[in-house]
Amino acid sequence: MKSKSPFTPEQIELQAYIPPALKQTSVAADELLNSANCGVIVQRSGQVTNEFRNQARECALEICEHTNKTQKGFISSFLYEETFGQQDRIHWFIHLRSLADYMRFHRLAAVDPAFGEIFMRNRAPESERGGDWTALFSGTFQERVLTPHYWGFNGTHSPQPVPDAESRLALYQSKQPAAQLLHSSNARMIIMRQAQVDFQYRSEARVFARAYADYLNRHLAGYVTCFVYEEHFGAVDRLHWLIHLECYEDYQHLIEFLAQDSGMRDVLTRSWVEGGGSHSDWSRLFVPGSISEVLLCPQHPTKDF
């Protein structure tokens, strides 16, 4: 458990400047889907135009709230923004119960007139360009469909029994108490790390990915919760770590832990390839140059844009 906060009142006030994503919505926290209890995350990102930075965020947040209220129990959507990454790039984390609800999500604009009105509303009537969503974003939208990793995924070797459908949620990857479990609705920042698996080490890479996440979860409870997700409909064998943090100070704590903890050093230097000799640590498991990460923080209407 965390000890008494070492921060000054001024530092605590600064942390409150980035409230968790659940504060974006009027829906009760226990009715929201998040990265721990959902079956699917649709991660959609878009580049905001310089001219309409405020209006684009206003539109994106309104879409999230309308979705959360009208699709309660099926879809929960939060808005995040890149920090230390691409300026003015925002990310929707759209949580679904399962892939069966993916079509429900895509049909929203067609079956709900209010949803379409939010998109098409002119939010900058004084501008010659207008202010509907086509003017608010530069058109560089990207979308990824992610599901929690589970043993035996996509035919890979399973060091443990393949779980049933109810036990494939990300929350079962961690044994952290519920009060300490961080996820996409209660964390103040998320590090999204991705890596392309070397095809010949598909099983070994997943064993390493889960061991890495499990070690963080067991030794940094209260500071960090890490889940492993798999990508669908995109690059085959691309893994994603969602590393949830409560504040910037916890990021510094994580960096120091990775550098100094002997157990984590063992995870990173251990032989993961049977018969691989002296060069069989984690670096053999992934395509060189394919590992990247971005830090995301929840967006809020009270934030100065």
Whether 296 contacts 83, CB under 8 Å: yes
Query: What was the pLDDT predicted at 142?
Result: 92
pLDDT in tens, 16-39: 567 899 999 999 999 999 999 999
Task: Show the tokens assigned to 246.
Answer: 């409560």
Whether 74 contacts 109, CB under 8 Å: no
The rounded mean pLDDT for the chain is 87
Query: What was the pLDDT predicted at 303?
Result: 47
Query: What was the pLDDT predicted at 69?
Result: 95
Q: Is the pLDDT of residue 8 over 50?
A: yes
Mean pLDDT across the stretch 126-151? 84
pLDDT in tens, 168-208: 899 999 999 999 999 999 999 999 999 999 999 999 999 99
* Phi, psi angle pair for 30, to nearest 5°: -75, -5
Within the chain, residue ranges assigned H as helices are 9-16, 53-70, 102-106, 108-111, 113-120, 133-136, 202-219, 248-260, 262-269
Domains, the chain, in order of start with CATH, read 9-298 (3.30.70.100)
Rounded CA separation 40/231 (Å): 10
Whether 205 contacts 239, CB under 8 Å: yes
Per-residue pLDDT band at 304 (split at 50, 70, 90): very low
Q: Is the pLDDT of residue 264 over 80?
A: yes
How many C-beta atoms lie closer than 10 Å to residue 133's C-beta? 18
Work out the widest C-alpha separation in the chain, in whole angstroms: 68
* Phi, psi angle pair for 144, to nearest 5°: -130, 145
Per-residue pLDDT band at 95 (split at 50, 70, 90): very high
- pTM comes to 0.89
Share of the chain above pLDDT 70, in %: 87
